[in-house]
Structure 1
């Protein structure tokens, strides 16, 4: 009696066990029998620091467009975050934000939000859900040393681990989610793919962060930030207070070349008072530092690899997240863009299946879609700072930026403009929405209100931090700040 041979298992390899890699594993688990995540470090079993994620010590923002993408990939993760102490912050009512064009007003429609918590907690909740999927296995302390296959098709990866030495992992699909340190360009060159066009913009931004115990009774305190301002001829300075789990404030300061924040703890608050508005410095003066030292990071340049524009592309290989593009973290788009890139890959898998011809090329081009807006915003702004390096914007790009500046100024006082801008800022709507005729007309008309002269904290919020003593006066439109 003849037997029907069992079909060969369909396998995928994901390079990198960080946020992008574990999200990719979840997407691939829908369509492949085995998904192996290869991670060079040992991943923590709790919300703890990862060895190769130094930027986790700084404030991270997960916009609603990214959070919804992650919830779609791993249903229930939103509840996991909030149950563990993350804050779901409605926009704009719980956002105290000074844009380059002035303070946003609070209130209005709250269709968008952001998730504020430590990066350790954010990653842990995703990792726990993704690695629990039966199709997913994790290889830790293992380094990918090259691709298997040819320019026509990638057929797996070569890895090395201390215990097993060199091994080959065959795969129908390889996903590079190895982050800023990716070797994708070298790997692709090694199998005959290239050249890969790259672009880099570097404003020389330095980040400095410190964790504080928030004053008692401020568990619902808004996120507060003062954004840097480009194109003034002066270095940019910014500050943010991100409420995180455990009743703490994660405070991050930033500055471009010529205005770097200090590492000395005793100078941290002083720098926070020297940015465009001193509100962050004033607030942390009433909080208790939990870190004896200030953490610095210089990994803030913008870099994009135009993989989707390669003349030839192999079947079986897709790059995602920071392996394709990285951004100055001040814009808060890295995680959200990565998640939406994974959604683009999943959509292609659902449309045609993992073995369809041309899948990898179509997916790589789809991944570039969410990147475009984030790249234009980050690189387009950073190149305007003094001593920034990178390609200068074209005439059309400068015209587009002037329009966005005008729209942002209008959004500080007109709810319709603010709502439309937040839809795009949170990656919940495409950037083309900024050019709807009605919105363009609104921007041309301008804000039609006097700008706020200080941060729009409520009297209750001020009292919760400053106590019953002399409080800074609540700012009024057209008034002066005490």
Structure 2
């Protein structure tokens, strides 16, 4: 937009993380109204429209770097509020499908905290932007315009129903429950394709008081993953240290092996996954909450980028795609998508012809990468529904399987694994000659045979003093 251009106005539907980040990038070029159905809390508190916020959320470094690019200094703001920056794999004790990973020096990182804290810090920053207005307790009823151009939204506010809000650009960030396909159909836009892969996953979370001294000692994230190639329901258990001296513990199970809300069954379930370490760490710890259970976790993708969208509209975040939450991709996909839109805005007018379609295409590669990673695993579980792997996928799967095996013993492959999992690189990174060379020589010789907790960590957690059975790989922090 040039200095002589008329003022622009954008509407963002939804005050989600995706919506807030979209508002932040658009605020550099337009005034922005964020329309949110919920009353937004002051500070880190639950929000009705984000029920999955009760569960573990890890923001991968690919997402943290993207948000830092949009809101400089945000990482420092998170840590000042109590979030923990975790080195990967140094601060991670994880059993992958192919075994325990050594705790090498930092390759990537994540931000560990409650979703309430993470969102509240971003919300405070975005709401303070001069160009941003947040309209709370208001619900979008429909898009205004035609099949050629969206010109605004129809909103029910606390004071009045059916208020017309004009806009040069409308961004749908209303999440998993988005009605954008219906709204567009009402304008005459048809043929927007949707895909779904559902493993039947259920996840359950409970917060515990961390042992005295655990946070000060930098107690690691502890995670036991499932193996989708084993023809049984996939079950996982994860401990994430979060703010205020707490452990956020999430269990999950696919169809036929799901956890329940029974508090008496929580620790036994954790002990019953591929390694009992999470359940053992929870023994004797004080629970601070009831068990929160969430179902309806299917991977779902709407192919907006392949449709003939009207000018003045695009969608972002969970409105475009939702993923199995165990992979921790949703926030990072939204952040990297917003950053891609920001780059587009450097050369294109947000009110100009074709901007919405260009924005939708710009964020599509991030969605596609996460979709392929999540669904290629989830479809392997017993009873999973959805599209089966494409022809030739077996060969690629065997290659990734070998890479993951090598990551248990070979530092360059551990680095390559985290580069992609944290969404700092696309999966094609795994096909670079330098990575292929290491994969061809990969083996699990000398792999760890037990969780690589240090003696000090076992002591602070109240476990026995031994380090447990391990292999030759380095356990140092």
**Shorter-normalised TM range:** over 0.9
Give me the CA root mean square deviation: 1.4
Question: What's the secondary structure of 2:392's corresponding residue?
Answer: helix
Q: Distance in 1 between matches of 2:133 and 2:404?
A: 46
Residue of structure 2 aligned with 1:150, choices 146, 167, 172: 146
Identify the residue that residue 75 of structure 1 maps to in structure 2.
Answer: 72
Identify the residue that residue 264 of structure 1 maps to in structure 2.
Answer: 262
Q: Distance in 2 between matches of 1:397 and 1:365?
A: 25
Identify the residue that residue 285 of structure 1 maps to in structure 2.
Answer: 283
Identify the residue that residue 461 of structure 2 maps to in structure 1.
Answer: 465
Change (3 A) 1:90 1:478: closer
Q: Distance in 1 between matches of 2:165 and 2:328?
A: 35
Displacement after TM superposition at 1:56 (Å):
0.6
Identify the residue that residue 204 of structure 2 maps to in structure 1.
Answer: 208
Displacement after TM superposition at 1:472 (Å):
4.9
Q: Is the counterpart of residue 49 in structure 1 residue 37 in structure 2?
A: no
Q: Distance in 2 between matches of 1:133 and 1:299?
A: 35
Question: What's the secondary structure of 1:288's corresponding residue?
Answer: coil
Q: Distance in 2 between matches of 1:287 and 1:42?
A: 34
Q: Is the counterpart of residue 390 in structure 1 residue 386 in structure 2?
A: yes
Question: What's the secondary structure of 1:395's corresponding residue?
Answer: coil
Q: Is the counterpart of residue 10 in structure 1 residue 8 in structure 2?
A: yes
1:343-371 CA distance string (max 9 Å, x none): 11111111222233221111101111101
Residue of structure 1 aligned with 2:449, choices 435, 450, 453: 453
Q: Distance in 2 between matches of 1:80 and 1:125?
A: 7
Question: What's the secondary structure of 1:158's corresponding residue?
Answer: strand
Q: Is the counterpart of residue 428 in structure 1 residue 424 in structure 2?
A: yes
Identify the residue that residue 27 of structure 1 maps to in structure 2.
Answer: 25
Q: Distance in 1 between matches of 2:118 and 2:151?
A: 32
Q: Is the counterpart of residue 124 in structure 1 residue 120 in structure 2?
A: yes
Asked if structure 2 preserves the Cα contact closer than 8 Å seen for 1:453 and 1:478, the reply is no
1:395-452 CA distance string (max 9 Å, x none): 2223222211111111111110111111111111122111001211211211352321
Identify the residue that residue 275 of structure 1 maps to in structure 2.
Answer: 273
Identify the residue that residue 297 of structure 1 maps to in structure 2.
Answer: 294
Runs of 4+ in 1 over 4 A off after TM superposition: none
Q: Is the counterpart of residue 348 in structure 1 residue 344 in structure 2?
A: yes
TM-score (norm 2): 0.96
Q: Distance in 2 between matches of 1:242 and 1:209?
A: 11
- Summarize the alignment of residues 222-237 of structure 1 with structure 2, pairs less than 5 Å apart: 222-237=220-235
Asked if structure 2 preserves the Cα contact closer than 8 Å seen for 1:98 and 1:455, the reply is yes
Identify the residue that residue 3 of structure 1 maps to in structure 2.
Answer: none
Asked if structure 1 preserves the Cα contact closer than 8 Å seen for 2:338 and 2:363, the reply is yes
Q: Distance in 1 between matches of 2:236 and 2:450?
A: 15
Q: Is the counterpart of residue 315 in structure 1 residue 311 in structure 2?
A: yes
Q: Distance in 2 between matches of 1:461 and 1:316?
A: 54
Question: What's the secondary structure of 1:281's corresponding residue?
Answer: helix
Q: Is the counterpart of residue 477 in structure 1 residue 471 in structure 2?
A: yes
Change (3 A) 1:295 1:472: farther
Number of equivalent positions: 468
Q: Is the counterpart of residue 171 in structure 1 residue 163 in structure 2?
A: no
Q: Is the counterpart of residue 413 in structure 1 residue 409 in structure 2?
A: yes
Change (3 A) 1:7 1:201: closer
Question: What's the secondary structure of 1:262's corresponding residue?
Answer: coil
Q: Is the counterpart of residue 40 in structure 1 residue 34 in structure 2?
A: no
Residue of structure 2 aligned with 1:240, choices 238, 244, 267: 238
The answer for unaligned runs of 5 or more in structure 2 is: none
Asked if structure 1 preserves the Cα contact closer than 8 Å seen for 2:196 and 2:301, the reply is yes
Displacement after TM superposition at 1:333 (Å):
0.5
Q: Distance in 1 between matches of 2:210 and 2:437?
A: 43
1:158-177 CA distance string (max 9 Å, x none): 11123122111110110000
Identify the residue that residue 251 of structure 1 maps to in structure 2.
Answer: 249
Q: Distance in 1 between matches of 2:393 and 2:340?
A: 26
Identify the residue that residue 331 of structure 2 maps to in structure 1.
Answer: 335
Q: Distance in 2 between matches of 1:93 and 1:84?
A: 23
Identify the residue that residue 99 of structure 1 maps to in structure 2.
Answer: 96
Asked if structure 2 preserves the Cα contact closer than 8 Å seen for 1:348 and 1:363, the reply is yes
